[in-house]
């Protein structure tokens, strides 16, 4: 689509608000953050120092892994449930959908609290497992606890988008594939997933970015696994290491951006390969 | 095209369909489709054509008691993926994430056919449908007619036991519909495949069907060749649904039928009050003194190759006749008709 020459000034006017917001709340503070990161005793090599510090590097890797696994799990669970909920009409369906999206408004603290109720030292999982097997199942403060918490707040962010996309699936496509001999699994792989792909990428990106930046859940669980936002918090408030905190923040932004970029181009290249 | 070797007959036995919401889409339906035959399911919207086709395909199962047979094979409980049927949809239903070639190859890929054999079969299909130059295209780069050709190629590529088409031409414009209809007709004959073709367009049905099954409200109204359906409608529904029909009431006595518009020669039995039907093309406009029936022009429409004239004073409803005469019909003018002697029909 090319723009008419007459439309260009109009377009510029329409875009002014977004430029203003972008500059005031994003570009200026970001520039400042970049400078702050370089203002410490290490100067601009603070970024390298951050990567070379094992504690920081591990925190970065753990955060990326946790976010990626959470995103994948959330997409799989929401994809299956979303298609099912869209296809089936049953009593209590509306209630179920609104319950699934209920955690949207919860801050991370509440999510962390819920995980502790489930799998903490006095949690439900412990009581049940003690009664059944005699072993005490406590995982709230481990990677598993974080994962459960992250998954819990990720699903509502994904499922509505996927349900909307599932509604637009053309049943004739699936029927055509089946008439050609495709099994259920082949129909999912060749018809449903490709059709849901834009929605999977869009909601997966939001899910991943949210997980990368999530703070409250990890903070409440007070685990010994430091996710990156926790590390930033520690450097900033406890160690007053402002340059390091700033450098870590920039890293968080860049890594998230790179991960999303890779995911998007991988998804794009599978389209190109199939065509 | 060594495809015709294995065409089989289809039998539906007492297949009824009640949907879960209580909608009764089909009354118990028994239907025999011979091997290699093209049967057209024809009827107004909602009469159950698609439902019947989907029961044959295996996309719906008949209510308990119903049976679907492919040759000797009872497929009632087989899902569609094991029935080996080719399907063509009104909406084309091509896979948008695959190229033309990949679409046509899909059924072969699923069957794990070797690559060189698959390539050969796809090339053969592209050639048969005359779309070789489109092989690498994406689906959204195709016109409606091209899409339907791809869909046909995809369905035929796997050598299905039967071919099922649900209004494949309805989404196309009139000219293209005509052309593709001729192509589909040739294709079905060439393949000798058993085919079931759903349409609500009677011209399509007449042109394509070896036999036509006219359906109404979930029941078969009449089954027969296009000629049977047209010239010997067995009930009022079929008579009215197919083509245009004129109705006259009269008394039959001693070889004459006395109607409001005049006397007609009558070979049927005497009767106090009977209804007879005739097609517009079986009436000829003649001079008044030679006419059997007389009526007055209500309206006339010039259609190019012929003129359609509506008359009153003959039957209870206006009578429609068609003529190739190059003349004007003034409103209110008196017109005389004769009717071909064997053209009068009655319904039981
Ligand atoms: N899944 C369904 N659930 C409930 N009722 C249905 C369903 N599918 C079809 N029907 C109903 O069954 C009847 C027959 O439908 P069908 O689709 O077979 O008609 P059709 O002859 O193909 O009509 P059309 O020419 O409009 O396609 C209709 O009354 C329709 O509303
Ligand atoms: Mg239909």
What CATH number corresponds to the domain at position A180? 1.10.3720.10
Average of per-residue pLDDT across B249-268 = 87
Q: Which of A186, A160, A139, A145 is CA-nearest to residue A74?
A: A160
Q: Whose CA is nearest to atom 12 of ligand 1?
A: B25
Taking an 8 Å cut-off on Cβ atoms, the answer to whether A194 and B95 are in contact is yes
pLDDT of B3: 46
Please give the number of the atom of ligand 1 that sits closest to the Cα of B218. 14
Same domain, A14 and A122: no
Taking an 8 Å cut-off on Cβ atoms, the answer to whether B81 and A170 are in contact is no
DSSP letter for B345, please. B
Residues from chain B contacting residue A197 (CB–CB below 8 Å): 97
pLDDT of B25: 94
Question: Considering CB atoms only, which of A170, A182, A194 is closest to B110?
Answer: A182
Decide: B158 and B117 in contact? Cβ < 8 Å: no
Taking an 8 Å cut-off on Cβ atoms, the answer to whether A182 and B111 are in contact is no
Portion of chain A with pLDDT greater than 90, in percent: 29
| pLDDT tens for each residue of B140-186 | 999 999 999 999 999 999 999 999 999 999 989 888 999 999 999 99
Same domain, A20 and A156: no
Task: State the pTM of this model.
Answer: 0.83
pLDDT of A2: 55
B50 lines ligand 1 (CB under 6 A): yes
Same domain, A28 and A65: no
Is 2.40.50.140 the CATH classification of the domain at B246-343? yes
Taking an 8 Å cut-off on Cβ atoms, the answer to whether A190 and B85 are in contact is no
Q: Which of A89, A63, A90, A69 is CA-nearest to residue A229?
A: A63
Q: Do the interacting molecules here have an ipTM over 0.90? A: no
Residues 6+ apart with CB under 8 A from A157: A74, A104, A203, A206, A207, A210
Question: Considering CB atoms only, which of A172, A186, A271 is closest to B93?
Answer: A172
Same domain, A120 and A229: yes
Same domain, A108 and A238: yes
**Ion ligand 2: residue ranges with CB closer than 5 A:** B 50
Question: Considering CB atoms only, which of A178, A181, A190 is closest to B95?
Answer: A190
DSSP structure string for B67-96: EEEETTEE-TT--GGGT-EEEE-TT----T
Q: Whose CA is nearest to atom 16 of ligand 1?
A: B48
DSSP letter for A138, please. -
| Tens digits of pLDDT across chain A (275 residues) | 455 666 778 888 888 888 888 888 888 888 888 888 888 777 778 878 777 888 888 889 999 999 999 999 999 999 999 999 988 888 888 898 888 888 888 888 899 889 988 888 888 888 888 888 888 888 888 888 899 999 999 999 899 899 999 999 999 999 999 999 999 999 999 999 999 998 999 899 989 999 999 888 888 887 777 888 988 888 888 888 888 888 888 889 998 999 888 888 877 655 444 43
Note down the domain range covering A211: 46-274
B193 against A271, higher pLDDT: B193
User: What's the residue count for chain B?
Assistant: 348
Ligand 2 centroid to B87 CA: how many Å?
13
Same domain, A88 and A224: yes
Is residue B299 scored above 60 in pLDDT? Answer: yes
Same domain, A250 and A124: yes
In Å, what is the CA distance from B27 to each residue of A28, B13, B17, B67, B220? Answer: 73, 11, 7, 14, 9
- Average pLDDT over chain B, rounded to an integer: 92
Same domain, A250 and A223: yes
Q: Which two tokens stand for residue B91?
A: 């909406």
Instruction: Specify the pairing of strand B334-339 against strand B283-286.
Output: antiparallel
Same domain, A83 and A58: yes
CATH code at B10-241: 3.40.50.300
Decide: B70 and B161 in contact? Cβ < 8 Å: yes
Q: CA A98, A99, A103: angle at the middle one, nearest 5?
A: 105
Q: Give the three-class secondary structure for B265.
A: strand
Q: Which of B164, B154, B157 is CA-nearest to residue B59?
A: B164
B200 lines ligand 1 (CB under 6 A): yes
Question: Which band of pLDDT confidence, cut at 50, 70 and 90, is reported for residue B347?
Answer: confident
Quick one: CA dihedral A29, A35, A38, A39, positive or negative?
A: negative
Q: Which of B210, B244, B204 is CA-nearest to residue B227?
A: B210
Residues from chain A contacting residue B110 (CB–CB below 8 Å): 180-183, 186
| pLDDT tens for each residue of B273-283 | 888 999 998 99
The region that residue B167 occupies, defined by phi over 0 for left and psi between -120 and 50 for alpha, beta otherwise, is left
| pLDDT tens for each residue of B45-103 | 999 999 999 999 999 999 999 999 999 999 999 999 999 999 999 999 999 999 999 99
B108 against A142, higher pLDDT: B108
Same domain, A5 and A88: no
Domain boundaries, chain B: 10-241, 246-343
Q: For chain A, what is the domain count?
A: 2
Same domain, A12 and A59: no
Same domain, A17 and A97: no
List residues of chain B with CB under 8 Å from any CB of chain A.
57, 59, 79-87, 89, 91, 93-99, 102, 106-107, 110-111, 138, 151, 154-155, 158
């Amino acid at each position: 689509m090319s723009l008419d020459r007459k439309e260009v000034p109009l377009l510029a006017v329409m875009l002014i608000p977004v430029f203003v917001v972008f500059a005031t709340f994003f570009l200026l503070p970001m520039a400042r953050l970049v400078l702050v990161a370089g203002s410490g005793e290490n100067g601009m090599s603070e970024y390298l120092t951050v990567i070379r510090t094992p504690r920081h590097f591990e925190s970065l890797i753990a955060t990326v892994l946790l976010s990626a696994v959470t995103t994948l799990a959330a997409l799989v669970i929401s994809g299956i449930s979303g298609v099912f909920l869209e296809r089936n009409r049953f009593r209590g369906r509306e209630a179920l959908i609104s319950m699934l999206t209920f955690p949207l408004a919860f801050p991370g603290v509440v999510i962390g609290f819920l995980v502790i109720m489930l799998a903490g030292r006095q949690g439900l999982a412990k009581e049940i497992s003690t009664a059944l097997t005699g072993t005490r199942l406590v995982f709230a403060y481990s990677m598993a606890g974080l994962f459960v918490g992250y998954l819990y707040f990720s699903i509502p962010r994904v499922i509505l988008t996927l349900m909307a996309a599932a509604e637009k699936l053309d049943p004739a496509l699936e029927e055509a594939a089946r008439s050609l001999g495709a099994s259920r699994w082949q129909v999912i792989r060749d018809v449903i997933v490709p059709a849901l792909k834009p929605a999977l990428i869009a909601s997966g990106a939001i899910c991943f970015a949210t997980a990368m930046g999530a703070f409250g859940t990890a903070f409440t669980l007070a685990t010994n696994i430091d996710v990156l936002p926790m590390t930033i918090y520690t450097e900033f408030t406890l160690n007053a290491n402002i340059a390091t905190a700033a450098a870590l923040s920039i890293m968080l932004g860049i890594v998230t951006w790179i991960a999303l970029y890779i995911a998007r181009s991988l998804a794009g290249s599978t389209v190109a390969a199939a065509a | 095209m060594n495809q015709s070797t294995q065409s089989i007959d289809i039998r539906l036995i007492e297949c009824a369909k009640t949907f879960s919401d209580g909608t009764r889409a089909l009354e118990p339906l028994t239907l025999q489709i011979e091997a290699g035959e093209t049967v057209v399911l024809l009827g107004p919207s909602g009469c159950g054509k698609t439902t019947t086709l989907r029961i044959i395909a295996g996309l719906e199962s008949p209510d308990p008691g119903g049976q679907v047979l492919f040759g000797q094979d009872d497929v009632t409980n087989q899902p569609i993926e094991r029935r080996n049927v080719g399907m063509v949809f009104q909406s084309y239903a091509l896979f948008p994430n695959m190229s033309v070639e990949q679409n046509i190859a899909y059924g072969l890929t699923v069957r794990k056919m070797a690559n060189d054999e698959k390539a050969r079969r796809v090339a053969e299909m592209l050639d048969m449908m005359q779309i070789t130059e489109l092989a690498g295209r994406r689906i959204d780069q195709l016109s409606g007619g091209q899409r339907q050709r791809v869909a046909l190629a995809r369905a035929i590529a796997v050598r299905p036991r039967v071919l099922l088409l649900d209004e494949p031409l309805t989404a196309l414009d009139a000219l293209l519909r005509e052309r593709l209809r001729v192509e589909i007709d040739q294709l079905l004959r060439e393949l000798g495949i058993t085919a079931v073709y759903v349409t609500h367009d009677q011209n399509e049905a007449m042109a394509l069907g070896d036999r036509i099954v006219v359906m109404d409200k979930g029941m078969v109204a009449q089954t027969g060749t296009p000629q049977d359906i047209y010239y010997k409608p067995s009930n009022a529904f079929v008579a009215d649904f197919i083509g245009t029909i004129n109705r006259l009431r009269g008394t039959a006595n001693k070889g004459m039928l006395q109607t409001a518009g005049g006397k007609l020669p009558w070979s049927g039995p005497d009767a106090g009050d009977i209804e007879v039907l005739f097609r517009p093309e079986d009436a000829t406009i003649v001079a008044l003194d030679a006419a059997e029936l007389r009526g007055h022009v209500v309206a006339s429409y010039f259609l190019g190759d012929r003129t359609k004239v509506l008359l009153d004073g003959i039957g209870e409803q206006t009578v429609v006749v068609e003529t190739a005469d190059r003349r004007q019909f003034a409103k209110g003018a008196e017109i005389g008709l004769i009717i071909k002697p064997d053209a009068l029909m009655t319904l039981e």
